[in-house]
Amino acid sequence: MKKVVILISGRGSNMQALLEAKLPCEIVAVISNRADATGLDIAKAHGIATAVVSHREHADRTAFDMALAQVIDGFRADLVVLAGFMRILTTPFVERYRGKLINIHPSLLPSYTGVNTHERALHDGVKIHGCTVHFVTPTLDGGPIIIQAAVPVLRGDTPASLSARVLREEHRIYPQALRWLCREQVWLDTAGRVAGNRLEQPGVALISPGLN
């Protein structure tokens, strides 16, 4: 059974969804860069080991990433899952866990990398928005895509209402992505592309606004 370490910076609602999903893996630890992250208490309540590696206690990102990697490796992790981990990771760290490091992002990548994704989607008037689980590469939010979920953008949406609708889908697709990885149904091939035998559904479409 694969061992998984989850990295958080705050409450970690996606972390909680993973903990409650009864996945075919062992979540061995939750690590935060902030000692006051409320997600640490949630992890403890589930009987999961926790650790804090504070970025404020290291001179630069390289030093922080080295310390973080040492803690991760202490748990002998097979997979490292970012769940609201608000730190940009250095290239050596990302390459250390190539094919083993995944993230969830609140947009349909490659659109809207970075922050404020819901505000930007509303500003641009897109009709379909969503979320993406992807392998992490040195390019921010640019790694190979594992799974995406799309939601309609409604006429009266605010960033908060759109965020809530997307978050519900995040809690569905992140456990699915990790389940595939733990069962070795999805992997990163030698060319840096996602390969696997996951379910595909030809002909399924989301159209927004709907057709009459």
Indicate if 46 belongs to the active site: no
Average pLDDT over residues 126-150: 97
8 Å CB contact between 63 and 37:
no
Residue whose token pair is 């059974």: 1
Domain 1-97 = CATH 3.40.630.30 = no
The pLDDT value given to residue 8:
98
Confidence of residue 200 (pLDDT cuts 50, 70, 90): confident
The pLDDT value given to residue 175:
98
Token pair for 100: 């083993």
pLDDT at 72 over 90: yes
Token pair for 26: 């062992």
Based on the number of CB atoms within 10 Å of its own CB, is 27 exposed (0-12), middle (13-18) or buried (19 or more)? buried
**Using CA atoms, how far apart are residues 105 and 141, in angstroms rounded to an integer?**
7
Domain ranges in the chain are: 1-97, 104-195
pLDDT tens digit sequence for 37-54: 999 999 999 999 999 999
User: Among residues 55, 58, 105, 123, which one is catalytic?
Assistant: 105
**Using CA atoms, how far apart are residues 79 and 187, in angstroms rounded to an integer?**
11
pLDDT tens digit sequence for 85-126: 999 999 999 999 999 999 999 999 999 999 999 999 999 999
Q: What is the dihedral of CA 157, 160, 162, 165, to 10 degrees?
A: -130
On the question of a common fold for 1-97 and 104-195, the answer reads yes
The pLDDT value given to residue 49:
98
Average pLDDT over residues 181-197: 95
The pLDDT value given to residue 193:
95
Q: What is the CA radius of gyration of the chain?
A: 17
Task: Give the pTM.
Answer: 0.95
**Using CA atoms, how far apart are residues 112 and 65, in angstroms rounded to an integer?**
26
pLDDT at 67 over 90: yes
104-195, superfamily in CATH? Formyl transferase, N-terminal domain (3.40.50.170)
**Using CA atoms, how far apart are residues 67 and 55, in angstroms rounded to an integer?**
9
- In sequence order, the β-bridge partners of residue 49 are 29
